[in-house]
Structure 1
Amino acid sequence: MTFAEQVPGLTVRYQWRTPQLQGLVEAVGVVLAGRGGARMLRILNVTLSRCTVLSQLMRVPLPLLDTPRVLGVDDFALYGGTYGTLLVDATTRLPLTLWEGRDAEQLSRWLREHSGGEDKEFTGYKQNANGTVTAFFTDGTTATGDLPVGADGARSRVRRQLLSHSEQHHTLGVGIGGKLPLGHETAWLPQEMTGTKNMVLPKRDSLFTAVFHSREGSATVVERIGAPLRAVGLGTELVIQDTKDDHYIMRAYVAHPHALPADATGQHGRQLRDLVASRLAGRHPDLRELIAQTLPDTIGSSTSQPQRG
């Protein structure tokens, strides 16, 4: 039914439902989606198919995005080597946006476009008698919660206050890295090695593997696997020194200098490859084959320096 003149609040041009009924359909769709929404509307004597409820739901404009006071950022694997980033309002616990990829520039651009959040510097905390914790910031403000999370690395101020007498020791280690191009010749590699990062931790030494794709630049490479390497005291230049636009699996073998020959860091190419192969004798055949097929001209070594702090 159409009307020559519209009655405000009662009729809308080219609309089969009054604004009140349309609002009801949209509200039910937001809460129950298609099938459940159609069932609820049927109880309310409004007969619509689940597809119609969904189509009306898609017409509902998204609410305006308020800049969150506390932003939560999480990355996850969608499938294989495809990753996604989820932003969450840590106060309301509601998701804000989701995009493919997890590079730092993408996050920086979002933060610039949605500036206005609080930028605070943590100075210390106090445990309260009721079990809560109060955090103090340089601007004089405080925040009280149930649990402080010191997620700012080994030099965390939370850790420094909680473990004031502890010392930080950097592990002395030698890393030997190399890469193997991915293609038909490497189809024998198991999914566990081509689909994610791996850390092999036997009783001695360790082996780290990660897959890189042509769309990843050096910054993305550092973001993806920099933390595990830094955790064992090695620099990221070990993996980006020979980054090229191809698909390959990178592996980094790490051992204590005392476990290797004195001239290990002066060796190159095949010598380093044979050294790692000898250290992995008796390990899984796929690991030994990965070392054996690593291109000699991509193999290099790096040594961490002992520090105390």
Structure 2
Amino acid sequence: MKRILTGDRPTGKLHIGHLIGSLGNRIKLQNEYDTFIIVADFQVLTDRKDTAKIEENIIEITKDYLAAGIDPKKTTIFIQSHIPALSELYQILSNVVTVSRVKRNPTVKEELKAAHIDEANMSLAMFSYPVSQAADILGFKANLVPVGEDQIPHIEQTREVARTFNKTYGAVFPEPEALLSPAPRILGLDGKAKMSKSLGNTIMLSDTPDEIRSKFKKAVTDSGREIYFDKEHKPEISNLLTIFSFFSAKKISELEKEFKEASYSEFKAAIAEELVDKLSELQKKRTEISESEVKEVLKKGTLKSAEIVNDTLKEVRKTMQLDYPKIFGS
């Protein structure tokens, strides 16, 4: 069975953009692939200094995973920082990547822009983030990495790292393929950018009914009053139709007909009620998940993952002749 690695930074609870996009896709893929989800806590530090809430965020994000439908019997969830072998592999792989190559990665520039950090104040960890991600992927010898189009440069760089290492020292790593998510990119309710916790333009999976209704009431819409899908000329209404379609399981064409004569306010109110209904089911499941259950899932997943990465690192050291059998034995 082919192996998948995917994951999130634990910066807070998840929102509907995650559910429609990456999380919804993972729930389907776990039935077809050996799936690993990395809770990338070290990567939180690349653009923020406050560490006080990371542990709680890890617990909360894992609750969201389980409530949404991630099955720990099919999917292994683990904490990045508690697998030292990943950090060691990151150190080793940093030697086969040039500074100029990392600078050409457009995703790093986009991350800096999103975090409002200028290049002069960028941390070394932020700069070398693509190499850290490569170590995570290659440490598991992942065959596939589910990504959106904006993340393809990271996967291409990981493939280059694998090729360079294999050519320099010997064949160890498979070259992972990007598995493009069929899910659409969800805009924030402000219509300005993708849905993001930091921008405050989200519907969180944990939002109350009143919060959901209030947020949709304020959601930005296009000029005019027609409700139809046209990403170029009516991006905000198209975004709302995409959200409505996902949660109602209705085709967008059906929704266009249903709300042909509706006002924008009526349309947004209907979306809000659909989400109130669907998210209440997820929230009910979430309340039934105990913290002890979450801790057990994370402990088991991290131990299992550590064994896999330790084996990879052992193979890497031997291939590079860094295992020193004369000193430490075979």
Q: If the length of structure 2 is used for normalisation, what is the TM-score?
A: 0.21
Would you tell me which structure has more strand in proportion to its own residues? 1
Q: If the length of structure 1 is used for normalisation, what is the TM-score?
A: 0.22
Name the larger-Rg structure.
1
The answer to which structure, 1 or 2, has the higher relative contact order (CA under 8 A, 6+ apart) is 2
